[in-house]
Amino acid sequence: MPEPTPAKKDAAKEKEHPMGDPRYKGIDRVLKRQQYQQDALIEVLTAAQEAFGYLTEESLIYIARQLKLPFSWVYGVATFYHFFSLKPQGEHSAIVCLGTACYVGKAAEIVESLEREFCVKAGQTTSDGKLTVTTTRCLGCCGLAPVVVLDNNVLGKETPETTLAKVRQALGGGNGGNGGTPS
Ligand code: FES
């Protein structure tokens, strides 16, 4: 059986696109607000990075398709600006939603507890490279507020205690970057 061409592989990837992931709703909201204007690319990429912690290949494919832009163009813009990252920044990532519903649910306290526990500021990675903590705007699943996305798992109804316990567990039971200097 012949090897699938790169184009076919890309098409297959598009079909497998994780549309069930609620984080895409946040991207959709920006797309709609910008009326799918191609010059809104930077804003849409920013929303995607906030939602996923970095720009996944799938999210770039999705954005290219939604804005009817060539993938190479979207990829070129994403790699041109240093504030976009195409790689997960830490071995693990904790993304805390600070949209209105989550904020009202005291999501800021979750951020503070992560910062304190792992000696890292939101938007940064622990010095041992184990954990990146970021914040984002509404992820589109406000019914679950406050929401934390830990390593691509959407966690709902979180508290500082439950999030810390899950992050500690994800880091292998230790206290992760505790004692480290944020990079
Ligand atoms: S405000 Fe957090 S999911 Fe909507």
pLDDT at 19: 53
On average, the pLDDT of the chain sits at 85
pLDDT at 123: 84
CA 43 from centre of chain: 14
26 lines ligand 1 (CB under 6 A): no
3-state secondary structure of 177: coil
143 lines ligand 1 (CB under 6 A): no
The pairing of strands 92-97 and 131-136 is parallel
The helix (run of H) or strand (run of E) holding residue 166 is: helix 160-170
Q: Would the pLDDT of 70 be above 70?
A: yes
Ligand 1 atom 3, closest CA: 142
Distance between Cα 110 and ligand 1 center (Å): 14
Residues ≥6 apart with Cβ < 8 Å to 93: 53, 54, 131, 132, 133, 134, 149, 150, 151
Nearest atom, ligand 1, residue 146 CA? 2
pLDDT at 84: 87
104 lines ligand 1 (CB under 6 A): no
Q: Would the pLDDT of 8 be above 60?
A: no
Ligand 1 atom 1, closest CA: 99
Q: Which CATH class is domain 92-170?
A: alpha beta
Q: Kindly indicate the confidence band of residue 173, based on its pLDDT and cuts at 50, 70 and 90.
A: low
Distance (Å, rounded) from C-alpha 42 to C-alpha 48? 10
Structure tokens at 181: 């200097």
Nearest atom, ligand 1, residue 145 CA? 2
pLDDT-wise least confident of 69-78, 82-91, 134-143, 144-153: 82-91
End-to-end CA distance of the chain: 48
Q: Would the pLDDT of 128 be above 50?
A: yes
Cα atoms in the 13 Å half-sphere on the side-chain side of 168: 12
- In the chain, where the domains are located: 6-80, 92-170
More confident position, 119 or 12? 119
pLDDT at 87: 75
122 lines ligand 1 (CB under 6 A): no
Q: Mean of the pLDDT values across residues 46-52?
A: 90
The helix (run of H) or strand (run of E) holding residue 124 is: strand 124-125
Q: pLDDT tens digits, residue range 136-152?
A: 888 889 999 999 999 88
In terms of phi and psi (left: phi > 0; alpha: psi -120 to 50; beta: otherwise), the region of 155 is beta
pLDDT at 6: 53
101 lines ligand 1 (CB under 6 A): yes
